[in-house]
Structure 1
Amino acid sequence: MQHKYLSLLVSTMIVGALTACGGGGSALDSLAMNKVALINSGPLQGSAEAGVMSFKGIPYAAPPVGALRWRPPQEPAAWTGVRAAGSYGHDCMQKPYKGDAAPSPVGTEPSEDCLVLNVWRPDEVTPKKLPVMVWIYGGGFVNGSSAAPVYDGSKFAKQGVVLVSFNYRLGRFGFFGHPALTKENPAGQLGNYAFMDQIAALRWVQRNIEAFGGDANNVTIFGESAGGWSVNTLMTSPLAKGLFHKAIAESGGGRNGIVPGRRLSETGPNGLPSAEQVGVTFASSLGVTGEDASALAALRALPADKIVGSLNLLNVFDPTFASAMIDGQIVVDEPGNIFRSGQANKVPYMVGATNMDLGFSSAKTMDEAYAPFGPANRQAAEAAFNPLGTSTVSEVVARIASDMMMVEPARFVSQTLSAQGVPVYEYRFSYVAAAARSQFNGAMHASELPFVFDTLNARYGASVTPQDAQTAKLANDYWVSFAKTGNPNGIGRPEWQAYDTKSDTLLEFSPDGAEKTRSVPDAWKARLDLIQKLY
């Protein structure tokens, strides 16, 4: 309760000061409406709209610029007076991609000074602490923004949740190895600076969320794509233990391969270059050679846009970008290995994918598509992935690639954790917004986002139909209930059965909308069993 008393004290002191100085009524009204929250760094003034209080652009770490580039996040500087928190901060440094599923709004230009977060809570403060949800955006670890309108937390706040979103470093700012960095701090955390930021944001929540009415002992992390991969990384990281109490991974894989064996300093499986080797190659491409302190100083002096280069979602597999790696402290092994070992953080877990999710394949013929299954399973694969015999090569290739990358790994984690006694709820999102049906005959990667956040207007505007709205309300309700209790079920919603390996049941968000959404035995069992054999 300390934060609430301090917040009230600060508000009272400021009101007194404004009154003594002849302050305007609007400022007094603002404070009287409890728009000031006191956190460790100082008091914040948020804004109220339609029953929701929001606080935006809050520094949770010092700007990682200059000598702090490629260092673990440091504590933010404190401030005096009341800091305005009505606007988003900068996005983290990146090359924007117009095709991003959640594009950033105008006015959040990328910058290295980007380690900020945002909080939404109900306008009415009650003595009861509220559950907290912490959102981790996707974007292939090269794009992404907590300021995307689709990620607005208002609908969660209206349901009695404190919603937190934050930025984390991307691209070569977020994932970078170099021998000079290792020499500078041989025993420290290295390489996965993006994950360090995520952990720092969660620690900030533990220290400060009570100032917003949140319960630090009831925190749910959730994320999609790279954000879902991050959830699984945090689930399997010893340094994240105790920082959250429930987790939701949307299209985040879960098997080995999300961190594809990349090591910080050692060559990985099949000769995969270490992150340090990748970093040396990148440095050389910009004329920086050597592995000593002067080389590191030269790298830190490079303009930020030179570090970004052409890296974004269009070329995320750039050989001079290491992406996530096994660093030995935050990421100690591939997630699949840790899930299997029983050493993951055992918290209630929700997981799923869309029915036309993301996957990558170089196959160009049916023979190449089915080759991984071998001759013995060719006929079974044809029956599973092309049951009517009318699908094109590209359709079959997409199904296999999606199942391998997203769909089967979600089932794998469901099977693995549920067998260890962890409550698991699996879903498959198959609903397509009415405005997108002429373009897509299934739910594409990330298409569930405006339904989960119930922000359909931000994505589809006036094209939103009542059926769309009902499906969004249902999805948001499930996510909120899970955050509150660890169980997504509630009165008036179709029952979502906990995952059980024997029944292999998941909740399908039906193509026909909320009224047809049900828990059903997975119709893709034969497909996924074939994929499972490949692992």
Structure 2
Amino acid sequence: MLSGCATVQSATAPHQVRVSGGVVQGSVRDGVLSFKGIPFAAPPVGDLRWRPPQPVQEWSGVRQATAFGHDCMQIPFAADAAPLGTSPAEDCLTLNVWRAAEAPKDGKLPVMVWIYGGGFVNGGASPAVYDGSRFARQGVVLVSFNYRLGRLGFFAHPALTAEAGGAPTGNFGYMDQIAALEWVRDNIAAFGGDPNNITVFGESAGGGSVHTLLTSPKSRGLFHKAIIMSGGGRGPLLGGSRLSEDTPGGPRSAESIGVEFARSVGIQRTGPEALAALRALPAERLCDFNLMTLNVPTYSGPMLDGQLVVEWPDAAYRAGRWAQVPVMVGATRADIGFLSARTRDEAFALFPDKAAARATYDPDGKADVQTLVALIGMDRLMLEPARYTARAVASQGIPAWHYRFSYVADSMRDEWKTGAPHATEIPYVFDTVELKYEAKTTDRDRQVGRVANTYFANFARTGDPNGQGLPQWPRYEAATDVLLDFSASGEPVAQPDPWKARLDVTEAAVDAASRK
């Protein structure tokens, strides 16, 4: 990870800023000044593959920062809710900054740092729906960045552990996230941002990353508020391996998985010569799967490495071992879940109180099995963990704000009958609905985008999403269990959680399983 350095000062020429590495030239469009493709670390290629991010290489003259850098190496897939805007490459550690063009450079504006999702194997900062212009017009400095994915981002091997010599290894994608936050801390004042008012936010794997940042000892002090969108929070969102130890009855170690991958490509040894051979592999050979084919036995995903990730987030929240900053957390109404049950009996076998579960999920015994499995899986993976996080935060006297996103674009209502699917809230949060739905965008879609974007910007500004002209969003308290629903009608509605009974039986099941 990168070490801190003194805050750099902005250059004097219009639309130019001096950052770590040199001077960058941005561009103005519709009153927003943006800088794209700024390196925040050295390219992680060659001998730097599977190393912590190294200091950025300095450049001479003025670097044009008007186009996104490459998204990180991956195999894109056609159904991506946020299609990439660049071609993937291993040289990808760049970031992007948006701010209002007329904002003073010393304005100490609130800063938001976006972390994309994609199951830690897909995603990037270039998709159009992640454009930061609307946040910039709200008086926020918006930063997005790339982090390494798949085996290039999350990979362990005995030779790598030996080479690290006791330093963190394995979770290179998380190291990139921390390096990007260090860059923001050291450089954002040059863009008019306040390094003492930084909010991290992310969705799906990005939301899971926010959990990691909140609970990792390596990211302390790098941000001051956090927003978790469909990020789980009960145990690992993906994977769950330990770095070097097999888990009894659970996943193999990440090192064991790495050795198996090496053998699958003809690399039998486990010493430095094996590492040299692995680093010589074409990047394409390492990225042979995507989110649609993620169940790969030779990929570990994020892991417990003992230094950056020392425990799963729910345990850290419960013990008070986390950053203790204001938190906004929620999920979508028809979010994702992974449950392999094929019958009602298999689905209800997960609950210690099967009668209560049946009475809650299937009171008349007539629920469609596929729908039932989807609801139970969603509650276990996304909805109950979001509530758990809000409760844990609130119980320690820290402001927590719980939401559910139910709104469905008018053009998609015939297709998404059960509510807002996973990731569909993103264009509303960024107020980029027209970039997503184009000519099909309705006035109601636009209004929901304006409102959601304003709530999120307000939270970044003050730690409280409320503001003039917005329906009141009560701070979360377990006793009242009130959340804000971005409802199907388009109106934000604060109400006690209508799915409380479902989440209660799910909570009891998860807690019982954790005690075994």
TM-score, normalised relative to structure 1? 0.92
1:70-469 paired onto structure 2 within 5 Å: 70-105=50-85, 108-126=86-104, 127-258=106-237, 261-309=240-288, 311-374=289-352, 377-387=353-363, 390-441=366-417, 442-469=419-446
Deviation at 1:402, TM superposition (A): 0.2
1:525 matched to which residue of 2? 500
- CA distance in structure 2 between the aligned counterparts of 1:5 and 1:395, rounded to whole angstroms: 56
1:437-488 Cα offsets, whole Å, 9 max, x none, are 1101111000100000000112110111111111111100000000000000
Deviation at 1:186, TM superposition (A): 2.4
1:17 matched to which residue of 2? none
- CA distance in structure 2 between the aligned counterparts of 1:388 and 1:445, rounded to whole angstroms: 28
Match of 1:7 among 11, 34, 37: 11
Asked if the contact 1:226–1:252 (Cα under 8 Å) also holds between the matched residues in 2, the reply is yes
Deviation at 1:386, TM superposition (A): 3.3
Asked if the contact 1:261–1:268 (Cα under 8 Å) also holds between the matched residues in 2, the reply is no
Q: Does residue 507 in structure 1 map to residue 484 in structure 2?
A: yes
What one-letter code is carried by the residue in structure 1 that aligns with 2:495?
V
What one-letter code is carried by the residue in structure 2 that aligns with 1:7?
A
SS in 2 for 1:155: helix
Deviation at 1:389, TM superposition (A): 5.2
1:473 matched to which residue of 2? 450
Could you list the runs of 4 or more consecutive aligned residues of structure 1 that deviate by over 3 angstroms after TM superposition?
2-6, 386-391
- CA distance in structure 2 between the aligned counterparts of 1:436 and 1:211, rounded to whole angstroms: 42
SS in 2 for 1:87: coil
- CA distance in structure 2 between the aligned counterparts of 1:211 and 1:6, rounded to whole angstroms: 5
What one-letter code is carried by the residue in structure 1 that aligns with 2:497?
D
1:195-247 Cα offsets, whole Å, 9 max, x none, are 00000000000110011110000000000000000000000001100000000
1:21-72 Cα offsets, whole Å, 9 max, x none, are xxxxxxxxxxxxx211111211111010001000000000000000000000
- CA distance in structure 1 between the aligned counterparts of 2:123 and 2:472, rounded to whole angstroms: 33
Deviation at 1:396, TM superposition (A): 0.7
- CA distance in structure 2 between the aligned counterparts of 1:458 and 1:5, rounded to whole angstroms: 34
What one-letter code is carried by the residue in structure 1 that aligns with 2:177?
Q
1:24 matched to which residue of 2? none
What one-letter code is carried by the residue in structure 2 that aligns with 1:458?
L
SS in 2 for 1:191: coil
SS in 1 for 2:379: helix
Q: Does residue 66 in structure 1 map to residue 46 in structure 2?
A: yes
More divergent stretch after superposition (181-190 vs 403-412): 181-190
Structure (1 or 2) with the larger CA radius of gyration: 1
SS in 2 for 1:7: coil
- Rate the CA distance shift 1:6–1:486 in 2: closer, same or farther, 3 A: closer
Deviation at 1:373, TM superposition (A): 1.6
- CA distance in structure 2 between the aligned counterparts of 1:176 and 1:407, rounded to whole angstroms: 29
- CA distance in structure 1 between the aligned counterparts of 2:245 and 2:342, rounded to whole angstroms: 34
Asked if the contact 1:507–1:518 (Cα under 8 Å) also holds between the matched residues in 2, the reply is yes
- CA distance in structure 2 between the aligned counterparts of 1:3 and 1:257, rounded to whole angstroms: 35
- CA distance in structure 1 between the aligned counterparts of 2:39 and 2:21, rounded to whole angstroms: 9
SS in 1 for 2:237: coil
What one-letter code is carried by the residue in structure 1 that aligns with 2:470?
R
What one-letter code is carried by the residue in structure 2 that aligns with 1:40?
S
What one-letter code is carried by the residue in structure 1 that aligns with 2:369?
V
Q: How many residues align?
A: 503
Deviation at 1:316, TM superposition (A): 1.6
SS in 2 for 1:523: coil
1:393-438 Cα offsets, whole Å, 9 max, x none, are 1111000000000000000111111001110000000110111111
Deviation at 1:383, TM superposition (A): 3.0
Deviation at 1:391, TM superposition (A): 3.2
- CA distance in structure 1 between the aligned counterparts of 2:205 and 2:482, rounded to whole angstroms: 26
Asked if the contact 2:7–2:186 (Cα under 8 Å) also holds between the matched residues in 1, the reply is no
Asked if the contact 1:365–1:393 (Cα under 8 Å) also holds between the matched residues in 2, the reply is yes
Asked if the contact 2:25–2:66 (Cα under 8 Å) also holds between the matched residues in 1, the reply is yes
1:171-198 Cα offsets, whole Å, 9 max, x none, are 0000000011111122111000000000
Asked if the contact 1:115–1:168 (Cα under 8 Å) also holds between the matched residues in 2, the reply is yes
SS in 1 for 2:212: helix
- CA distance in structure 1 between the aligned counterparts of 2:8 and 2:185, rounded to whole angstroms: 15
1:111-166 Cα offsets, whole Å, 9 max, x none, are 10000000000001324210000000000000001000000000000010000000
Deviation at 1:369, TM superposition (A): 1.6
Asked if the contact 1:220–1:246 (Cα under 8 Å) also holds between the matched residues in 2, the reply is yes
- CA distance in structure 2 between the aligned counterparts of 1:281 and 1:465, rounded to whole angstroms: 51
The percent of aligned pairs where both chains have the same amino acid is 54
Q: Does residue 495 in structure 1 map to residue 472 in structure 2?
A: yes
SS in 2 for 1:88: coil
- CA distance in structure 1 between the aligned counterparts of 2:176 and 2:126, rounded to whole angstroms: 17
1:285-315 Cα offsets, whole Å, 9 max, x none, are 0001111111100000000000112x11012
- CA distance in structure 1 between the aligned counterparts of 2:35 and 2:121, rounded to whole angstroms: 26
2:514 matched to which residue of 1? none
Deviation at 1:271, TM superposition (A): 4.2
SS in 1 for 2:167: coil
1:18 matched to which residue of 2? none
2:509 matched to which residue of 1? 534
Q: Does residue 45 in structure 1 map to residue 45 in structure 2?
A: no
Instruction: Looking at secondary structure, tell me which structure has more helix per residue.
Output: 1
SS in 2 for 1:495: coil
What one-letter code is carried by the residue in structure 2 that aligns with 1:513?
G
What one-letter code is carried by the residue in structure 1 that aligns with 2:47?
A
What one-letter code is carried by the residue in structure 2 that aligns with 1:501?
A
Q: Which runs of 5+ in 1 are unaligned?
A: 12-33
Asked if the contact 1:259–1:334 (Cα under 8 Å) also holds between the matched residues in 2, the reply is no
Deviation at 1:97, TM superposition (A): 1.1
1:339-368 Cα offsets, whole Å, 9 max, x none, are 111011100000000011010011111221
SS in 1 for 2:471: coil
What one-letter code is carried by the residue in structure 2 that aligns with 1:422?
I
Asked if the contact 1:261–1:269 (Cα under 8 Å) also holds between the matched residues in 2, the reply is no
Aligned-pair Cα RMSD in Å: 1.3
Deviation at 1:388, TM superposition (A): 6.1
- CA distance in structure 2 between the aligned counterparts of 1:164 and 1:373, rounded to whole angstroms: 42
Asked if the contact 1:288–1:298 (Cα under 8 Å) also holds between the matched residues in 2, the reply is yes
Deviation at 1:336, TM superposition (A): 1.0
